[in-house]
């Protein structure tokens, strides 16, 4: 697999710096380009846990459980909370998720998605009960916790007015990319999808779809779309993104109670990553007069449409550890701290692309590019530090506040598939120059108007991950702020508990382009799509059924 360097380290994430001996150098990128490899923004997305999931009680209180404990969600937040148990507990938490997208351009296709999943499933086993002095109790926990929801749809359409040359078409970005890379057909006019040219597959598809031609001048061969797309064409852009998958974690945890004052805990987590994406991009070439090329000559067979489809499949595992402590200086006050080590991910990735045009309606499909086994992508997520305090008014009410710090600039790549020209050190600089430590605040409250009834609410906000001005991150839609509003109810019937939780999550994302070719020397766009914005809103309803024994 042969790639050229495609990132600008000091400006926007993954802008696509290209190395070439040509007089004119370009950087390439955008949502529909650079899909042939694992980009640092993909690792950034997989590392975001937001407000996580758990039991209905923890979700209703926005996950503010660093100091609170006594809940199966503690295994994934602060395992010291398992030390609060004085009996056995088992519960499961089915969940419905409702995802909606809002776009700056006119909506197209599906912009909403509903999915059923399991938010949390676990058991806490009280292994030991002793006297009030020394080790008072030991609790072992097994559980599953959904860490991240990767399910969403969005689509939109827009139109660019005729702009002469360059055209506002992804085909022109491909022509620059192919020329700069020195990729041309063989003597028989063929371009083969060999394993070493995956970076150029988009341009090869365009050539095999008769949207690109090779011409020759005094400087040699060059690529052009001028014989196919008229200079007086306005370009309609249609985009659809479909994402499916999640990150789930299986936890093995142990919590200890020392004299009902100090609680200690540790968790080993095994994460399962399953992320599938399909990206559709279509162009319509619209003419209000006779189609002509840049020199004004009539085109006898102009392009009228193009459909470009890409599929990316990422699967793998990750491992981490969590350590925590809770201290009760007085019975009503709890102070907690937890550290989550980086998750070490080993991911396998597959990619394939297809393009159809009015010249080739049957379309052309690339081979499948697999990065598997020793060619897997290995990286580590940020270290997380969580501190919290909670105060209770007897058995009537409790207020809990958490602060979390995540060091995104500390992400590291540990293995890269053979032949990938971007080094681990370059990734490290990418993370360092574009990300920083983020801040997350969670506040949760619970009131019991009746001994058997609990009313809960919460709020949280996470931001500050991007080091530079967010206008520079136009290569992908990246989440830079997440807001959470939550509420819920709980009812106890003896040993059985029923809890209902609701969360409203809003992800604000950076503006982005679908494609661009940027002149390195001048910083001017040779060709580019319009700028777009997509924000995601998610609503979750979870029911936890628990039993203490």
Q: Give the model's pLDDT for residue 167.
A: 64
CB neighbours of 77 closer than 8 A, spacing ≥ 6?
52, 54, 58, 63, 65, 66, 322, 324, 338, 386
Higher per-residue confidence, 375 vs 545: 545
Is 195 a residue whose pLDDT tops 60? no
328-376: pLDDT as tens digits: 999 999 999 999 999 999 999 999 999 999 999 999 999 999 998 888 9
Question: What's the residue count for the chain?
Answer: 549
Mean pLDDT for 158-178 is: 84
388-398: pLDDT as tens digits: 999 999 999 99
Mean pLDDT for 475-496 is: 96
Is 242 a residue whose pLDDT tops 90? yes
* DSSP state, residue 494: T
Task: With beta carbons less than 8 A apart as the criterion, state whether 94 and 75 touch.
Answer: no
413-432: pLDDT as tens digits: 999 988 777 888 999 999 99
91-132: pLDDT as tens digits: 999 999 999 999 999 999 999 999 999 999 999 999 998 877
Q: Give the model's pLDDT for residue 373.
A: 82
Q: Give residue for tokens 């909403």.
A: 112
Mean pLDDT for 400-424 is: 91
Burial environment of residue 478 by CB neighbours within 10 A (0 to 12, 13 to 18, 19 or more): buried
- The CA dihedral of 380, 76, 273, 464, to the nearest 10 degrees, is -50
Is 280 a residue whose pLDDT tops 80? yes
DSSP output for 437-479: EEEEEEEEEEEEEETTEEEEEEEEEEE--BSS-GGG--SS--E
Q: What is the pTM of this model?
A: 0.91
Q: Give the model's pLDDT for residue 87.
A: 92
Q: Give the model's pLDDT for residue 164.
A: 52
Mean pLDDT for 47-70 is: 93
Is 198 a residue whose pLDDT tops 90? no
Instruction: Compute CA distances 306 → 215, 229, 526, 530, whole Å.
Output: 22, 11, 21, 18
Confidence of residue 21 (pLDDT cuts 50, 70, 90): very low
Task: With beta carbons less than 8 A apart as the criterion, state whether 82 and 141 touch.
Answer: yes
Task: With beta carbons less than 8 A apart as the criterion, state whether 80 and 338 touch.
Answer: yes
* DSSP state, residue 203: H
**Where are the extended beta strands (E) located within 161-304?**
213-217, 220-224, 233-258, 262-287
Count CB-CB contacts under 10 A for residue 437.
16
Q: Give the model's pLDDT for residue 4.
A: 30
What does the mean pLDDT of the chain come to?
91
Is 147 a residue whose pLDDT tops 60? yes
Confidence of residue 1 (pLDDT cuts 50, 70, 90): very low
Q: Give the model's pLDDT for residue 161.
A: 83
Is 500 a residue whose pLDDT tops 90? yes
């Amino acid at each position: 697999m042969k790639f050229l360097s495609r990132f600008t380290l000091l400006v926007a994430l993954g802008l696509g710096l290209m190395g070439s001996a040509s007089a004119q150098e370009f950087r390439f990128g955008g949502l529909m380009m650079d899909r042939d490899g694992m980009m640092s923004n993909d690792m950034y997305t997989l590392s975001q846990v937001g407000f996580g999931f758990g039991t209905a009680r923890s979700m209703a209180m926005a996950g503010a459980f660093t100091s609170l404990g006594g809940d199966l969600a503690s295994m994934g937040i602060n395992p010291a909370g398992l030390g609060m148990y004085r009996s056995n507990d088992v519960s499961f938490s089915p969940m419905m998720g409702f995802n909606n997208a809002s776009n700056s351009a006119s909506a197209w296709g599906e912009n909403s998605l509903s999915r059923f999943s399991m938010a949390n499933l676990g058991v806490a086993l009280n292994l030991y009960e002793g006297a009030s002095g020394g080790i008072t109790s030991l609790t072992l926990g097994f559980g599953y916790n959904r860490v991240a929801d990767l399910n969403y749809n969005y689509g939109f359409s827009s139109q660019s007015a005729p702009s002469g040359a360059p055209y506002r078409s992804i085909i022109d970005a491909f022509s620059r990319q192919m020329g700069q890379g020195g990729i041309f057909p063989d003597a028989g006019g063929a371009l083969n999808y060999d394993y070493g040219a995956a970076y150029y597959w988009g341009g090869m598809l365009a050539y095999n779809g008769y949207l690109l031609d090779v011409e020759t001048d005094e400087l040699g061969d060059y690529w052009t779309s001028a014989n196919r797309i008229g200079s007086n064409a306005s370009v309609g852009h249609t985009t659809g993104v479909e994402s499916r998958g999640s990150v789930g974690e299986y936890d093995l945890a142990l919590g200890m109670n020392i004299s009902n004052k100090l609680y200690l805990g540790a968790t080993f987590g095994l994460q399962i990553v399953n992320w599938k994406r399909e990206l559709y991009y279509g162009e319509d070439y619209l003419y209000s007069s006779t189609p002509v090329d840049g020199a004004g000559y009539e085109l006898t067979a102009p392009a009228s449409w193009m459909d470009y489809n890409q599929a990316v499949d990422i699967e793998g595992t990750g491992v981490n550890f969590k350590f925590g402590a809770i201290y009760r200086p007085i019975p009503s006050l709890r102070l907690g701290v937890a550290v989550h080590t980086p998750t070490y991910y080993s991911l396998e990735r597959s990619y394939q692309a297809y393009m159809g045009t009015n010249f080739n309606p049957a379309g052309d499909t690339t081979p499948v590019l697999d990065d598997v086994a020793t060619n897997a992508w290995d990286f580590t997520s940020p270290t997380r530090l969580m501190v919290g305090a909670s105060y209770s008014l007897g058995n009537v009410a409790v207020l809990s506040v958490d602060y979390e710090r995540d060091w995104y600039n500390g992400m590291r790549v540990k293995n890269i598939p053979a032949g990938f020209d971007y080094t681990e050190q370059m990734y490290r600089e990418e993370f360092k120059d574009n990300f920083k430590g983020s801040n997350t605040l969670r506040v949760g409250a619970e009131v019991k108007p009746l001994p058997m009834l609990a009313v809960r609410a919460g709020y949280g906000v996470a931001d500050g991950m991007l080091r530079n001005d967010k206008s520079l991150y136009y290569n992908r839609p990246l989440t830079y702020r997440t807001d959470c509003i939550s509420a819920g109810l709980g009812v106890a019937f003896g040993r059985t508990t029923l809890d209902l939780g609701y969360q409203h999550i809003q992800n604000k994302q950076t503006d982005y382009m679908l494609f661009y070719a940027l002149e390195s020397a001048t910083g001017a766009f040779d060709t580019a799509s319009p700028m777009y914005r997509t924000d995601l809103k998610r609503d979750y309803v979870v029911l936890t059924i628990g039993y203490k024994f």
